[in-house]
Amino acid sequence: MLTSQDREPYDDSELVGLAANGDTRAFEALLERYRARILRICLRMLGNRIEAEEAAQDTFVKIYYHLKDYDKSRNFAVWSASIALNECRDRLRKRSRLGRLFRGLNEADYAQANAQHGDPDDSSEKLGAVELAIEKLPDQLREVITLKAYGEHSYEEIAKILNVRVGTVMSRLFRARQKLTEIMSRGI
């Protein structure tokens, strides 16, 4: 079995092979190596520390159960980041569905409150309108604008996370901004 002194000389594919054959210390070494990176991806995608930690944990569970499926010709860091991104996408879809449900329930309360207390602050209304517009973007455009605007990632980082070229990131971001402008001008 792998000892703590042996962990560093092993490359990722060797650790994956050992972990896939039941070596828990090898899997722990992979966890140590990639925990912070996966958590950063989840945190920036989800914007909530607790949910990001849960998503990172679920990512490592999925990695563990799919170690035997891992293609050793692929870079483990990219493979694990794509699993984390997919986990975050699933959570964002669920959040979006729940958000629409709760927003629909709260619209009547909101309208009633406005009638009783006057209009809300204009800036909070604009922020709400932008958030609604972002929800209406296609997934690819929503991901790239979320990573850029809320995650503050560079084009290069977004390209790595999405596994696309930098030019693709730039064109998706341009289209996302155009689409947002179009949605906002229609008044959602």
Q: Which amino acid is at 155?
A: Y
Flag whether pLDDT at 177 surpasses 90.
no
CB atoms within 10 A of CB 174: 12
Which domains does the chain show, CATH number per domain? 1-91 (1.10.1740.10), 119-188 (1.10.10.10)
Q: Provide the mean pLDDT of the chain.
A: 79
C-alpha–C-alpha distance, residues 154 and 166, integer Å: 10
Q: What is the 3-state secondary structure (H, E, C) of 122-140?
A: HHHHHHHHHHHHHHCCCHH
Flag whether pLDDT at 68 surpasses 60.
yes
Placement of tokens 């008044």 in the chain: 187
pLDDT in tens, 130-141: 777 887 888 888
pTM of the model: 0.57
